[in-house]
């Protein structure tokens, strides 16, 4: 495992880390703490030291599993969680300092921890980034020892750029992958200038970039890849990176020609993300230990060649960019 600095947090984190949206099992299945424990412990055994969760994952069960792991291990494991998505309706007006404070305190109780290494605003509406009082409450929480760092999880490049104006923002979590390349144009360089760490989520475009899906692939009714393709439940950019499924399949076929010796494109897609030095870590999910093993194998791959990077860029420019580039 290789480690990178997570911006001004000062943390040295595993470049391949773990997101826990589905750590309790497959989409739509009941949360399995047995599955979660197996994945989480294997992650730490493999050198992963940064785990991203949220209070809404598994309705709080993911946080409980992560907290149990941290308390049971002697290794230093950095915990990042998120707050805000519990607000109903999830609108700008619902974001209030006291509500966010209560969410942080609830996460601490869920995980049975005294301090959160990183708390992130969980994809709030864009208007929230123009309200200093929302960011100031986290300074109070830091003074009280309840958090060490504040970060933001964003949907749009604009939101990430605005977040950089707040000096207490230490990290930005964003969607970045072969099908979502806009962040490289400005956000990456600005984050580096502000010493803000970049945490990459959805690196496999909800599984599209594994190369294992086809027109015949089916998803359960409770899987967001079935019910959120057009943003019915939340931002459609979280599902297949906002790429139309058929378009994504066609682009993946082109990618397979660039990497003909790779039966599983997932490690290649993760290695592509890590080719960008501005990235602190990538947090692919895993619903079973074998998926974690696939993700970890990316750390062993050599750097992609200039020709391969150019080919990926060309496929994006021709097939994906006109459809998604300016949306996020």
Which H helix or E strand runs over 200?
Answer: strand 197-201
The arithmetic mean of pLDDT across residues 252-270, rounded, is 95
CATH architecture assigned to 3-325: Alpha-Beta Barrel (3.20)
Percent of the chain with pLDDT over 70: 99
CA distance 125 to 116: 23
Map out the domains of the chain as residue ranges. 3-325
DSSP state of 317: I
* Measured distance CA(35)–CA(31) in Å, rounded: 8
Chain center to CA of 52: 7
Q: How far apart are CA 210 and CA 111, in angstroms?
A: 32
Q: In whole angstroms, what is the distance from residue 185 CA to residue 187 CA? A: 6
Q: What number of CA atoms fall less than 13 Å from residue 250's CA on the CB side? A: 10
Q: What per-residue confidence (pLDDT) applies to 263?
A: 86
Residue 273: pLDDT above 90?
yes
DSSP letter for 155, please.
Answer: S
Burial 88-98 (b: 16+ CB within 10 A, else e): eeeeeeebebe
CB 296 within 8 A of CB 23: no
Looking at residue 309, its pLDDT comes to 98
The pLDDT tens digits of the residues spanning 82-138 come to 999 999 999 999 999 999 999 999 999 999 999 999 999 999 999 999 999 999 999
| Distance from C-alpha of 53 to C-alpha of 106, rounded to nearest angstrom | 14
SS3 270: helix
Query: Tens digit of pLDDT for each residue in 184-201?
Result: 999 999 999 999 999 999
pLDDT value at position 250?
Answer: 96
Q: What is the pLDDT of residue 222?
A: 86
Separation in Å, CA 312 to CA 109, 181, 188, 255 = 44, 10, 19, 7
Tell me, what's the pLDDT at 26? 75
On the question of pLDDT at 22 being above 90, the answer is no
- Cβ atoms < 10 Å from Cβ of 203: 27
Angle between helices 97-111 and 132-143 (to 10 degrees): 40
pLDDT attached to residue 181: 98
**161-179 average pLDDT score:** 98
- Whether the predicted pLDDT of 319 surpasses 80: yes
Question: Which residues touch 110 (CB under 8 Å, ≥6 apart)?
Answer: 55, 60, 63, 64, 67
Burial class (CB within 10 angstroms; exposed 0-12, middle 13-18, buried 19+) of 311: middle
Interval 261-287 mean pLDDT:
95
CA dist 12 and 6 (Å) reads: 6
pLDDT of residue 30: 84
Average pLDDT, the chain: 95
- Read off the pLDDT band of 25 (50, 70, 90): confident
Provide the pLDDT for residue 152.
Answer: 98
Mean pLDDT of 202-214: 94
Answer for the pair 171, 9: CB distance below 8 angstroms, yes or no. Answer: yes
Lowest mean pLDDT among 14-28, 145-159, 162-176: 14-28
Q: How far apart are CA 197 and CA 78, in angstroms?
A: 14
Report the distance separating Cα 276 and Cα 209, nearest Å: 18
Average pLDDT for 275-304: 95
């Amino acid at each position: 495992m290789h480690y990178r600095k997570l911006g001004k947090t000062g943390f040295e984190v595993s470049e391949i880390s773990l997101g826990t949206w589905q750590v309790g099992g497959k989409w739509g299945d009941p949360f399995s703490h047995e599955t979660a424990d197996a994945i989480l412990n294997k992650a730490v055994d493999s050198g992963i030291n940064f785990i991203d969760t949220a209070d809404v994952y598994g309705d709080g069960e993911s946080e409980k599993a992560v907290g149990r792991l941290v308390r049971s291990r002697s290794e230093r494991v950095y915990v990042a969680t998120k707050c805000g998505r519990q607000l109903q309706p999830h609108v700008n007006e619902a974001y209030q300092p006291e509500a966010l404070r209560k969410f942080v305190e609830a996460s601490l109780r869920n995980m049975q921890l005294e301090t959160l290494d990183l708390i992130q605003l969980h994809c709030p509406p864009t208007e929230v980034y123009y309200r200093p009082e929302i960011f100031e409450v986290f300074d109070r929480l830091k003074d009280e020892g309840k958090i060490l760092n504040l970060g933001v999880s964003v949907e749009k490049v604009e939101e990430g750029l605005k977040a950089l104006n707040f000096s207490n923002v230490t990290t930005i979590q964003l969607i970045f992958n072969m099908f979502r390349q806009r962040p490289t144009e400005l956000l990456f360089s600005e984050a580096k200038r502000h010493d803000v760490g970049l945490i990459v989520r959805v690196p496999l475009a909800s599984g599209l970039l594994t190369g294992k899906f086809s027109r015949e692939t089916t998803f359960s009714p409770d899987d967001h890849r079935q019910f959120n393709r057009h943003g019915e439940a939340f931002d459609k950019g979280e599902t297949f990176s906002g790429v139309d499924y058929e378009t994504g399949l066609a682009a993946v076929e082109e990618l397979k020609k660039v990497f003909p010796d790779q039966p599983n494109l997932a490690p290649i897609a993760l290695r592509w993300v890590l080719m960008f030095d501005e990235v602190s870590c990538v947090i692919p999910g895993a619903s079973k230990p074998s998926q974690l093993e696939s993700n970890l194998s990316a750390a062993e791959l050599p750097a992609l060649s200039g020709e391969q990077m150019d080919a990926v860029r060309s496929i994006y420019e021709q097939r994906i960019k006109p459809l998604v580039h300016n949306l996020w």
